[in-house]
Structure 1
Amino acid sequence: MVKTTHPAVDRVRDALRGHGLDPDIRWFDDAATTAPAAAAALGISVGAIANSLVFTLDDEPLLVLTSGAHRVNTEWLGQRLGGIIGRASPEVVRDATGQVIGGVAPVGHPSPLRTLVDVALAEFPVVWAAAGHAHTVFPTTFDELVRITGGEPTAVAP
């Protein structure tokens, strides 16, 4: 039986509703902790998966919502942002988002995070993002991701 509730997912649902959305949160039988796994479960292109990756920028958490079709070039992006980007530890991810790696959503965090939204996601009419748990996703759009996160549209690799 597929679970349909979890505290982190409830916070994501509440955050989405706070932005005027009625989220269609989907629960998978199995965890989809990678973009290819989520895309396969949904039957869509991996590029339409919005990976929520937490980095540090000069020791401050930075959320990067990137297309599952490519990787963030941290050196290049750090130079563009004027700092040094590093991979956040699982503890930093949990503290910054209230969620664990593999299920980090774009919203529903204890406090706002600086967020970058990969412009490559704009080529898909619908993108799918984690909803706070590795078994959950929800559909959205590039423009909606920018709006609900207060994110900065940007390229994440050259």
Structure 2
Amino acid sequence: MAKRADASAGTPATVALTRARVDFTAHSYDHDPRAAAYGLEAAEQLGLDPDRVFKTLLASVDGTLAVGIVPVAMQLDLKALAAVLGGKRAEMADPAVAERKTGYVVGGISPVGQKTPLPTVLDESAILHETIYVSGGRRGLDLELAPDDLIAVTGGRYGALARRR
């Protein structure tokens, strides 16, 4: 997979992936500010199976922020995230805290290139796909990369995190 030269795609995520020499492709789409579900919008706009498009969610696990990455059509199982990270309790992080800690806006939070590196868990369903899509650091930009490369660049791990709505 070749990196797509797209000057408008220069985000901390693309910079971090380039520095780490991770192979990725940037995919831009026209973001509708009225969209209620950013991840599902990305899947629809890019013509992708929602099981290949993953959303990045921040949660507090026993008071420590962590990242859970799950398919956009599914929900993050907070108990499962806590268990994978050796914690007892998890709750979704306040959006303002998520933005401050990652350096990204809600709906554009990438698991890569965050201001503060956080414990990261990618749902194990990602291994079913050669490549997956995650936010590229702004609304209207997704990055396609191999799940193992995402784990490597974030220092993350796999876990069973997703549940159907």
Q: Which residue of 2 aligns with 1:60?
A: 64
Find 1:120's aligned residue among 120, 125, 149. 125
1:27-73 CA-partner distances (Å, limit 9, x unpaired) = 21224752221111111110101211111112221111112232111
- Label 1:76 to 1:16 Cα distance change in 2 as closer, same or farther (>3 A): closer
CA offset at residue 22 of structure 1?
A: 5.0
1:121–1:142 Cα contact (<8 Å) kept: yes
Relative distance call for 1:77 and 1:63 in structure 2 (3 A) is: closer
For residues 7 and 41 of structure 2, the distance between their equivalents in structure 1, rounded to whole angstroms, comes to: 19
- Percent identity of paired positions between Structure 1 and Structure 2: 24
Q: Aligned pair 1:51/2:55, yes or no?
A: yes
SS at match of 1:146: helix
SS at match of 2:104: coil
Name the SS for the 1:25 alignment partner: strand
Q: How far has the Cα of 1:93 moved from its partner?
A: 0.5
79 and 133 in structure 1: CA distance in 2 versus 1, 3 angstrom threshold: same
Give me the TM-score of the superposition, normalised by structure 2.
0.83
Q: Report the equivalent of 1:5.
A: 8
Q: Is the 8 A contact 1:122 1:142 kept in 2?
A: yes
Deviates more, 1:111-120 or 1:33-42: 33-42
Residue 106 of structure 2 aligns with which residue?
101
Distance of 1:134 and 1:157 partners within structure 2: 22
CA distance in 2, matches of 1:23, 1:100: 21
Report the AA paired with residue 109 of structure 1. Q
Do 2:123 and 2:162's aligned partners in 1 also have CA atoms closer than 8 Å? no
Deviation at 1:82? 2.3
- Partners of 2:49 and 2:28 lie apart in 1 by 19
Cα deviation for residue 79 of structure 1 reads 4.2
* Partner Cα separation in structure 2 for residue 117 and residue 22 of structure 1: 18
Residue aligned with 2:112, SS: coil
2:40: which partner in 1?
Answer: 36
- The answer as to whether partners of 1:4 and 1:27 remain within 8 angstroms in 2 is no
TM-score using structure 1 length: 0.87
Match of 1:27 in 2: 28
Matched residues, number: 154
SS across alignment from 1:41: helix
Aligned residue in 2 for 1:136:
141
Q: Which moved more, 1:32-41 or 1:99-108?
A: 32-41
What is the Cα deviation at residue 154 of structure 1?
0.6
